[in-house]
Amino acid sequence: MHRTIRADIAFTMSTGHTRVAFMVAVAKVPGLQVSDDFTVSMDGSPVEVTEAPAPHHGRIHLLDVDAGADAPGKVEVAYRAEVTGDPRAGAEQAEEPSATELLTYVRPSRYAESDRLLPTARQEFNGLQGPELLDAVAAFVHERLSYVRGSSHFTDGAVDTLLARRGVCRDYAHLVVALLRGLDVPARCAAVYAPGLSPMDFHAVAEAWVEGHWQVVDATRLAPRQSLVRIATGRDAADTAFMSSYGAGVRLGPQSVMATLEGELPIDDHAAAERLP
């Protein structure tokens, strides 16, 4: 399986010092071969970035820049990648999570308030386990939410999403994660590239630890799970944001994302188990 990935981000800095963290690079997990290039320029001149490891084979690129006092600085980020390999092979080689990791992913977090959704989870899914539970939770979220671009705020959590009955991919993932954690099933979020997604953008899905594996759950059903490529993994969007800045403010400009798969897109049986490398 061969995938081609492209991401372009532009933003303007306020004057002053800013540290920006990017999580757009493909995670270098076992089973995948990644050939990629990450470049940053400011006002047309190249800027050096530092790569740092992130959990679950992810990568963070850090940029420290100082905008001049006379005018804001325009920063442009370009990421290109060619990804080959069998996702299932990578999933088979994935490390067994520690007890601490599983506990982390069963607790409430910033955007996945499983404690507040515990009564709902137990009422809706009482007695279900394993793949049957994952299928039921995914169907519940898919049927109750409407996918509406721009309908949610970056501060919205799973409770807000359930009440609003609409959202985007991160909202779907947060609600899936919160409901599963409410049933004491370890669950986490993953930022991914998703060939077949329309309109194309960064994408977010959930993963649940069931029957000894991390199984991917995408209640949006907007792209085949078999073609997904992991970028970052964490408790929720607070751990997997594609860009964050600290210090002087930034104003996000145009961005574009493209992820394509060589050949035909696979047909996703939503009831079947799938793993994300």
Bridge partner list, 232:
191
Distance CA 108, CA 88 (A): 29
Please report, in tens digits, the pLDDT of each residue of the chain (277 residues total): 899 999 999 998 876 788 899 999 999 988 889 999 999 998 888 989 999 999 999 999 999 877 665 656 789 999 999 999 875 665 555 668 999 999 999 999 999 999 999 999 999 999 999 999 999 999 999 999 999 998 999 999 999 999 999 999 999 999 999 999 999 999 999 999 999 999 999 999 999 999 999 999 999 999 999 999 999 999 999 999 999 988 877 888 999 999 999 999 999 998 889 998 7
Measured in whole angstroms, the distance separating CA 209 from the mean position of its chain's CA atoms is: 17
What is the pLDDT at residue 72?
64
Q: Which amino acid is at 187?
A: A
What is the pLDDT at residue 91?
55
Distance CA 211, CA 91 (A): 14
Distance CA 141, CA 165 (A): 9
Residue partners of 186: CB distance under 8 A and separation at least 6: 97, 101, 102, 103, 105, 106, 180, 208, 209
DSSP state of 223: S
List phi, psi (to 5°) of 195.
-55, 135
What is the pLDDT at residue 92?
54
What is the pLDDT at residue 16?
74
**Helix (H) or strand (E) run with residue 20 in it:** strand 16-22
What is the pLDDT at residue 42?
87
Q: Are 141 and 215 in contact (CB under 8 A)?
A: no
Structure tokens at 81: 């990648």
pTM of the model: 0.94
Domains and CATH numbers, the chain: 96-240 (3.10.620.30)
